[in-house]
Amino acid sequence: MQSVLFLKGKTSKKIRGGNKLNEFYVNTNKEKIGEYRAVSAMENMSSVILNGEYKGIEFEKFYKENKSLFSLKSDRFPLLIKLIDANDDLSIQVHPNEEMAKKNHAFAKNECWYFLNEKESSIVYGLNENEKEKVIEKIKKHKRNELLSIKKVKKDDFYYVPAGVVHAIKKGCFVLEIQQASDTTYRLYDYGRKDEKGNLRELHLKEAISSIDYEKHTFKKFDEEKKENYTFTKLIKNDFFSVNKYEIEKKSHIKKNNDYVIESVISGKGKLKAGKEEYEIKKGDFFILLNNMNDFEIDGNLTMIESF
């Protein structure tokens, strides 16, 4: 039985999409491609397995029939890995935590962003006000410039975005997003944009205001750890996901950090050896190492973001 699954995802056309996915990762002639769901087991948006005995099988189907290979019991694969191209500002939004999601018969959504854009851009991250009544007043009076906290971002920056944090990716950002497998998003503001039918896009003010976490959020940034032939950085570890970074300089023997791990190659190229399986890997590849192997070897010069 094979130990490595290479996945091909699906693209989504978005009102604020661009063409960075064409240039760097995904060959498509379409315009305004806003995101690429690289690793997805979500209904109607499943990735497809590219290699080995499972080639051509949708990842959603494979996972449901082979949960033991991930040491997971849930009927839903817990993570979704995306590439997001923001050729315009994304809507200002907030995601619900577990409690709020249950009230709305939805799924909670915590996420994190690793930035790939070469030029500096910015994001909305949190609020300048933490008193609920004042926040609601400023939202109703459209005083968003006073309310929203803006952060500058550049290549290799990393942000954890917990459920409840008001946020938005702004124009010029190109992002690898690791998130809980959920599409639950409540829009606070969308710049008066219209959909393809000419209708104003829906806002969800009641749900969004109820979902906001008014506490200030910080998270620990882990130090780099130098290994023999690579650098390892633990970016985040919480109840929802763990995310690590590997900067590999030459042949490296690596022990897995979990029963299964998802690897996203964000730069460079090399060779992967996992048991008897060997593959050429390069920027833009996404693969999963299953729980039937404990370690692997990479020979090359590349950077990977690992999640589980």
Rounded Cα distance, 159 and 252, in Å: 28
Residue 94 CB coordination number (10 Å):
25
Tally the C-alpha atoms within 13 A of residue 172's C-alpha that lie toward its C-beta.
10
| The two structure tokens encoding residue 1 | 């039985």
Rounded Cα distance, 28 and 218, in Å: 38
Longest dimension (CA), the chain: 63
Q: Which of the 8 DSSP states describes residue 219? A: -
Q: Where are the alpha helices (DSSP H) in the chain?
A: 20-24, 59-65, 98-103, 132-140, 144-147, 205-211
| The two structure tokens encoding residue 125 | 């991250």
Q: 């499943």: which residue's tokens?
A: 46
Residue 262 CB coordination number (10 Å):
23
Label each residue of 32-73 as H, E or C.
CEEEEEEECCCCCCCCEECCHHHCCCEHHHHHHHCHHHHCCC
Nearest in space to 83 (alpha carbons), one of 166, 7, 5, 164: 7
Element (H, E) at 180: strand 174-180
Q: CB of 80 within 8 A of CB of 31?
A: no
Q: Does residue 187 carry a catalytic annotation?
A: yes
Displacement of CA 44 from its chain's centroid (Å): 18
Q: Which of 76, 187, 193, 201 does the annotation list as catalytic?
A: 187
Residues known to be catalytic: 187
